[in-house]
Structure 1
Amino acid sequence: MASCILVVEDEPAQSEMISYNLKKEGFQVVTASDGQSALDMARDESPDLVLLDWMLPEIAGIEVCRQLRANKKFRHVPIIMVSARGEEDDRVRGIDTGADDYLVKPYSPRELIARINALLRRSSTTGVDDKLICGDLEMDLARHKFFRDGISVHLGPTEFKLLRTFMERPGHVFSRERLLDLVWGQGVYVEDRTVDVHIRRLRKAVNEGDKPDVIRTVRAVGYALDLEHS
């Protein structure tokens, strides 16, 4: 069955063009032109991916994203935030709110399709019972929860994505540039120091009390999950 894409765009011409290109690639498409309609359509249609414009009537796209992520039914549905707002703060805010990718207007149909396919491939490999376990670290992907030594630890959306990336390849050293691509999305301009900020937040959340630091810094290279201490 073809994947269903919810296109949330308030400009009719833009919505029509996006829908045309998606249908040409074999996707099913449903549309909404404002934030409230987007939430209603998501509830009624259960899309496989949401393409969400930031600037919307009724409810802004950033708030739609927040509400979708707060609903366990949509917690793992990929969301691509689309906006003409290309500043670093806007991109970071979109990702931190729960978007899986951030695409700045104008963009090419080919790039959009490539990003959609990449997210759908990743989404399809995550079953409802999937868990990642590394030593005393356990990540429940279905419930979007993380535990250390059996104790639930709250992580922000970006920190959760970072730790998931590390746990999917324990021991592998990721450069800052690679983490930017995997967590924030390819083509999104975010300064390297942003990675360091979120690594510090991740360490603070995960390494409480006397717990050893599970994130290893490799000087001049990047970061890795330290299996010896996890």
Structure 2
Amino acid sequence: MEQKLLIVDDESHIRMLIEQTLEDLEDEGVELLFAENGEQALELIQKEKPNLVFLDVMMPKMNGMEVCYKVKKELKLSDIYIILLTAKGQEVDRQKGLEMGADRYMTKPFDPDEMLSIAEEVLKR
């Protein structure tokens, strides 16, 4: 079964950075999808049901916390693994993210090796 990974960030250079970090997964049959805001992300998540989502928190139209909440709590898509990406590493933000249903929380700037190993771990489960 083909696996899908969605990268959501309103900054194109960050989407590109994450794509470069994870492009090796494409060789293993993982399809990379992209969204540049929360609304677009939510549409793609409902349509494509990605296995894993790297979701930026601070975005226009709908932020990552809202997207996460809608996916996990309203749409009840609990099998979609969501990792929130944020520049804010405070514990209170982390707590809020986890309360919204996020499976994990990563602080920018992120370590590409860590990101790849987390992606591999999640997609292999």
Normalized against structure 2, the TM-score is what? 0.90
CA distance in 1, matches of 2:79, 2:15: 24
User: Match of 1:6?
Assistant: 6
Q: Deviations over 1:9-29 (max 9, x none)?
A: 110011012112212233311
CA distance in 2, matches of 1:109, 1:13: 14
Instruction: Decide whether the 8 Å contact of 1:78 with 1:120 is kept in 2.
Output: no
CA distance in 2, matches of 1:28, 1:84: 26
Q: How many residues align?
A: 121
**Which residue identity lines up with residue 89 of structure 1 in the other structure?**
V
Deviation at 1:44, TM superposition (A): 1.6
User: Match of 1:22?
Assistant: 22
Query: Map of 1:1-230 to 2, 5 A cutoff?
Result: 1-26=1-26, 27-69=30-72, 70-72=74-76, 74-121=77-124, 124=125
CA distance in 1, matches of 2:108, 2:21: 16
Deviation at 1:95, TM superposition (A): 1.0
Instruction: Decide whether the 8 Å contact of 2:9 with 2:56 is kept in 1.
Output: yes
Deviation at 1:118, TM superposition (A): 2.4
CA distance in 2, matches of 1:57, 1:120: 28
What is the aligned-residue RMSD (CA, Å)?
1.3
User: Match of 1:145?
Assistant: none
**Which residue identity lines up with residue 102 of structure 1 in the other structure?**
Y
**Structure 2 unaligned regions, length at least 5:** none
CA distance in 1, matches of 2:46, 2:25: 24
CA distance in 2, matches of 1:97, 1:120: 22
Deviation at 1:3, TM superposition (A): 2.1
CA distance in 2, matches of 1:3, 1:110: 20
Higher helix share: 2
Q: Relative contact order, CA 8 A, sep 6+: which one is greater?
A: 2
**Structure 1 unaligned regions, length at least 5:** 125-230
Instruction: Decide whether the 8 Å contact of 1:10 with 1:56 is kept in 2.
Output: yes
CA distance in 1, matches of 2:81, 2:49: 12
Q: What is the percentage of aligned positions where both structures have the same residue?
A: 34
Deviation at 1:2, TM superposition (A): 4.3
Larger Rg: 1
